[in-house]
Amino acid sequence: MAVDLQALCPKLIHLMLDTVFVVDKDNQIIFVSDACESLLGYLPHELIGTLITHYMHPDDLAATRDSIVRVMDGKPHVDFRNRYIRKDGAIVHILWSARWYEDEGVRVGVARNVTALMQAEEGLRYLAHHDSLTKLTNRALFYDRLALGLSTAHRYQSNLALLFLDLNDFKGINDVYGHAVGDRVLCTVARRLEGCVRETDTVARMGGDEFTVLLTDIKSAHAVTEKVEQILTVMKAGFEPATLGFGG
C-alpha cells in the first residue's frame, strides 16, 4: 500500500513535541505547529499573522536579529538560544534550529523548550560557586573575586581589605549541642556578616568555621577599622543555645 507522504507530513509536524514555525521575510508567522500551545501558551490561530519578534524577550532582540540575518544569508543556525515571553507572562528558554528557504521565501525554525535544562545548568553553576550550607561564596569563587579585586585595585590605584575570621570554640558547640545546632550558628553568622557589607563586597565561607570578607574600594585604614568594629559588635549578639565569641 502506497503512502502519501506529502499528505502525511502536516500530521507528522503537529505530532512533534518541538514547535515548528514558518516565518516570512518580514518576521510574520505564516504557520506554527500545535506544540506552540505548550511552548508559548498560545493556540496556532493566535500566533499566525503576528510578528514572531513580538514574543521575544526584549533583552534578546538584538542577538536574535543577528541570528535572523545570518539565517537569511543562507547560513543555517542550529544551536541558537534565546528567551520568549509566554502568554501567561512566564519566560521560556528556547533552543532553535533554523534555515532560510529562498525559493519559498520563508524561514523555518524548530523550537525546543530548554527552560528546565537552563535552570539545571544555572543550579549547577550556583552549587559550584557557593557553600551548600550557608549559601555564601565558596573558596573557589572567593579566589576569583580576590584576583579580580586585586586587578581592579591595581588598575584604578584603589585599595581593598581582606578580613580572616573564625568562631571561637566552634568544635565545642558541635560537641555539646550537636552538628544541627552548629549548622544553624554558621548560617546565622553568614547572614550577620552579609548584613555588615556592601553588595560590592564579598563574604565567603572557606570551610569549617572559617570566613573571609573582601572589602573593595576602601577609602582609608580607618574605614577598615570601623568595619571590623561593626562586625565584632554584630557578633556579640547572643546565639541560641549559647553565646559565642568571635575571633579573627
* Domain ranges within the chain, ordered by starting residue: 5-119, 130-247
What pLDDT is stored for residue 239 in this prediction? 65
**14 backbone φψ class: left, alpha, beta (φ>0; ψ -120 to 50):** alpha
Instruction: Give the pLDDT confidence of 164-199 residue by residue, as tens digits.
Output: 999 888 888 888 888 898 999 999 999 999 999 999
Query: At 154, is the pLDDT very low, low, confident or very high (cuts 50, 70, 90)?
Result: very high
Task: Quickly state the pLDDT bin for 81 (edges 50, 70, 90).
Answer: very high
Kindly tell me if the per-residue pLDDT of 148 is higher than 70: yes
Comparing CA positions, the residue from 86, 90, 92, 87 lying closest to residue 114 is 92
**Mean pLDDT across 114-142:** 94
Q: How many CB atoms lie within 10 A of CB 66?
A: 12
Residues making up the chain, counted from first to last: 248
Among 7, 9, 3, residue whose Cα is nearest residue 22: 9
Please tell me the predicted confidence (pLDDT) of residue 235.
87
The pLDDT mean for the chain works out to 91
Sheet containing 246-247, strands listed edge to edge, beginning at the edge strand earlier in sequence: 202-207, 210-218, 159-167, 246-247
Three cell numbers written together for 229: 568594629
Set of cell numbers at residue 195 = 548584613
CATH number of the structural domain 130-247: 3.30.70.270
Cell matching residue 152 = 581592579
Q: What does the pLDDT read at residue 243? A: 42
Statement: residue 210 has pLDDT above 50 = yes
Per DSSP, helices labelled H in the chain are 5-15, 36-40, 44-47, 61-72, 115-129, 139-156, 170-177, 179-196, 221-235
51 DSSP β-pair partners: 28
Task: Specify the pLDDT at position 174.
Answer: 86
- The three-point CA angle 168-159-165 to 5° equals 5
pLDDT for res 113: 97
Q: What is the pLDDT of residue 247?
A: 44
Torsion over CA of 49, 51, 56 and 58, rounded to 10 degrees? -150
What pLDDT score does 242 carry? Answer: 45
Output phi, psi for 61, to 5 deg. Answer: -60, -45
Q: Out of 60-64, 74-78, 103-107, 206-210, pick the least confident.
A: 74-78
Quick count: other Cβ atoms within 10 Å of Cβ 80? 19
Tell me the per-residue pLDDT of 211-228, one tens digit each, with 9 for 90 and over. Answer: 999 999 999 999 999 999
pLDDT band at 38, cuts 50/70/90? very high
- Per-residue pLDDT, 9: 78
Tell me the pairing of strands 246-247 and 159-167. antiparallel
Instruction: State residue 3's pLDDT score.
Output: 65
Q: Yes or no: is domain 5-119 CATH 3.30.450.20?
A: yes
Distances (CA, A) of 148 to 104, 137, 160, 201: 52, 14, 11, 12
Least confident window among 23-27, 75-79, 116-120, 191-195: 75-79
Rounded CA separation 77/58 (Å)? 20
**Given a cut of 50, is residue 59 above it in pLDDT?**
yes
